[in-house]
Amino acid sequence: MTDPQGLAQRLEALEMHAAHQARVIDELNATVAAQWTTIDALRRGLATIAERLESAEARGVGLPPVQKPPHY
């Protein structure tokens, strides 16, 4: 009918599988948290650059005009 040893092996396999999944989820969570920190820093940097560009444009300091090379 039911094999107690087989049942114990199946239970152990399920516990190992659950432990492995928990570890992988923790690793993925750490990766996502690190990526979010990087994204946040990049957004702040981009906002700073945009503010500086707007400030420079308001002062009349712009980028030099793009000129084609003489061979065009």
Give me the residue spans of the domains in the chain: 1-56
Q: What are phi and psi of 70, to 5 degrees?
A: -65, -20
| DSSP type of residue 65 | P
Query: How far is Cα of residue 56 from the mean position of the Cα atoms in its chain?
Result: 32
Q: Which two tokens stand for residue 48?
A: 């700073």
Residue/partner pairs of 23-29 with CB below 8 Å, 24 or more apart: none
Stated pTM of the model: 0.62
pLDDT at 62: 67
Query: How far is Cα of residue 53 from the mean position of the Cα atoms in its chain?
Result: 27
pLDDT at 72: 66
pLDDT, tens digit only, all 72 positions of the chain? 578 899 999 999 999 999 999 999 999 999 999 999 999 999 999 999 999 988 888 887 766 777 888 886
